[in-house]
Structure 1
């Protein structure tokens, strides 16, 4: 076997294993979304519990991603990869066999914990396996394509499994991927880790997890009133914990998140825009999926297929966006992209009705969203590394991924509160159930559209500079590196 590993072709087989890992981690963000109505009915879950099936995974994944990168670099990337694989597989099996809503939510949270080990370990091994040159660019292009299409694959696969098997297979299918990944990882991956005196920022990790968790939970409690004691208490507690986290990062020798990474104006703008994108993609798209199944009455399979239209537009427009990025730089794309997304979301808010017509009330909005998102993904990764020193490249890119999932967690919580209040008001005024649900979805889309307008404003005010200033050669070369040696 060692002779095989010495061959150049073995690197590409190793990349196939790592790309599979990337696919599993990304699609698990969306594969469960299609199964939510069936899982909710089967386990007798409330609407509040239903949204936590997505939030629990995104929150633990996003909160622990930076720590996962540190563990991979310090403990060993292959070792972390294998442990992450085993844990992710066991958590998926637990979720697939869960007999209650609380148990399923707990399994989803554990999935997120091990995904936070898997993702950075896999991407760090790509940086080690392909250290430079055209092969490196090609490898990360493949990883980027997998990441970009994983969400759509999750929706489609979730629809197929829910339709022809059961919602439980949306989780159990991960066991198959895990077995393939473990065998391939054991045979093809080599160990590597950062050298030197490496220490974990334990208190920084604890405070950021408590802060983010308290903040997200506080938003979910807002359903009972923004002025209620528990809502204010958890939101205030989250802010205090995050302030303590920042204080710790200023004083420890090896911080979990060096503040120089987020203090840069352009990078700060990129992180904020990414957080809004996460809230829109995970939050509002969840409600579009529910609209397809609950109001329009589409089967899970057709609901998955209906969502693919946006991904097709993204893939078709990305080459154009890449050409524009090379010619004009990232700033125009990061202003125009959110505006297109906002237009699509406002279209949903105004167009959808209880009768439901996919071609006239949904498809135009998906096209606008696809155009908008195609102009956002590539430039955001470039800006993540603007002015970053090489040893901070990994943590800077990991922060982009973290802000996406944390933004998604907060977005889902906020949209759920707005949805619940609107549905209650509509039912109280005499509206039918489907009409009330549609009103709730429209409110969520409206709020998401306002968020995208805010993202465009953030880009306009914070992301400034010439193309060469915003995309220096070193940043452009490593733009797709999501996690590396810190």
Structure 2
């Protein structure tokens, strides 16, 4: 139940501004996960990071972000999504400033962790605000498509922007650029975004505690798996703890009067499938960005700037698919379109896995990237729609949190698994030559192809479930006329 009444939704003339504010926040925080990727060698040299410590520039952000996402979504439901959104952007902007001027490795890691905390509260509110701002089905589908394209393209755009700043100015500008963007979002948000109804009640403390610790343990265990291996106690203990805590969370939520995540959200096959499918395709694509950028620099000898621009074809396809989904979605079943897009992405990743030390960027890499961009671009839009399908206003925050949690956990799982695959292929403790490295990258992309195969299976399951649902609905509607 809402404790307050929602204000009138923005008029058509202001919805473009509403969408721009929401997308500005989403892009800023999505970029931050990858914008330092091409700058890591420069950061290591300037701040004196060790090889193992360097990974925590990314991991501190991911660990806090992934652990607190569902708590952040619930906070938006209780305290007002616009209020939580603005608070998250303010903290993120200040943390970006701190990270950009950090003079020690420790301070940079702390600032990145605070960025992750702020993102965990702001990002679930973005999708929930978008849903409430665009109530008409066609407008909402269009807005979600653009939103999904921004999420999908964020990693590649981050690499491009990071490469430009690192090459011509300093890696610090990749973080400091958030300050003016964040200030603009904070200035506009109270004027254009609806506050949304606040639910009465309080935070489900046992549920919040078990899921936050469970997600944190899962992300930490996956991070350690990438560094220490799957047999290390630093990997096994947190992963076992994560399983225990997630089971405890489900038991708590079944009895909670006001659960942090209503389990009814998983009753829909298409929503549950959308969460699982998102984990798989984000795991494959996020890892592709990570490993292909290393291949382009370490094997083909491209500069950070050239590496960034190598992703332009994929980025362009992500944004172009907004219009393709609108066109095709009006002419064919969206579940069928989802299956077709994932098959296309599978073909693109399998094609990319054929690279070796002598593979030129054009055409043997750019063409698979174009195919991947089309397939992934369509799939990420449709999985976002399915993840929010038939969700009421009271559950919009929780559903948004689940969509973003699946996205974040997918990247962590994929990177952890594929880092182990790469290390096994090239040998631990060695300094492989480019040919051996190329074999490792090919092995990574072969396993990534299997991720997409799994996503195809999930999408077929959604397609079958939807057809059965439509048949049941047709039988029920025909039953009265037969009497």
Q: Shorter-normalised TM-score: what interval?
A: 0.7 to 0.9
1:370 corresponds to which residue? 373
1:281 corresponds to which residue? 285
Change (3 A) 1:100 1:375: same
1:417 corresponds to which residue? 420
Change (3 A) 1:143 1:273: closer
Q: Is the 8 A contact 2:141 2:385 kept in 1?
A: no
**Aligned partners of 2:250 and 2:156: how far apart in 1?**
36
What are the superposed Cα offsets for residues 176-196 of structure 1, whole Å, 9 maximum, x if unpaired? 21122222235545644414x
**Aligned partners of 1:333 and 1:415: how far apart in 2?**
28
**Aligned partners of 2:396 and 2:79: how far apart in 1?**
19
2:249 corresponds to which residue? 245
Q: Is the 8 A contact 1:382 1:471 kept in 2?
A: no
- C-alpha displacement of 1:139: 5.0
**Aligned partners of 1:121 and 1:356: how far apart in 2?**
43
Change (3 A) 1:91 1:220: same
SS at match of 2:260: coil
Structure 2 length as normaliser, TM-score? 0.85
| Pair 1:40-2:44 in alignment | yes
| Pair 1:464-2:464 in alignment | yes
SS at match of 1:465: helix
Q: Give the paired residue count.
A: 464
Judge which range, 143-152 or 392-401, deviates more. Answer: 143-152
| Pair 1:177-2:181 in alignment | yes
What are the superposed Cα offsets for residues 15-37 of structure 1, whole Å, 9 maximum, x if unpaired? 43333212212222322223233
Q: Is the 8 A contact 1:338 1:372 kept in 2?
A: yes
What are the superposed Cα offsets for residues 30-65 of structure 1, whole Å, 9 maximum, x if unpaired? 222232333234344455444443343334333323
- Structure 1 unaligned runs (5+)? 473-486
1:479 corresponds to which residue? none
- C-alpha displacement of 1:241: 1.1
Change (3 A) 1:297 1:64: same
2:476 corresponds to which residue? none
Q: Is the 8 A contact 1:59 1:405 kept in 2?
A: no
| Pair 1:255-2:259 in alignment | yes
Change (3 A) 1:468 1:29: farther
**Aligned partners of 1:119 and 1:80: how far apart in 2?**
10
Q: Is the 8 A contact 1:381 1:397 kept in 2?
A: no
Q: Structure 1 residue aligned with 2:203, among 195, 200, 217? A: 200
1:443 corresponds to which residue? 443
| Pair 1:329-2:333 in alignment | yes
- C-alpha displacement of 1:412: 1.6
**Aligned partners of 1:65 and 1:199: how far apart in 2?**
17
The Cα RMSD (Å) is 3.1
Q: Is the 8 A contact 1:34 1:158 kept in 2?
A: yes
- Structure 2 unaligned runs (5+)? 1-8, 473-483
1:482 corresponds to which residue? none
Change (3 A) 1:183 1:383: closer
2:481 corresponds to which residue? none
- C-alpha displacement of 1:403: 0.2
**Aligned partners of 2:68 and 2:470: how far apart in 1?**
29
Q: Structure 2 residue aligned with 1:382, among 376, 381, 385? A: 385
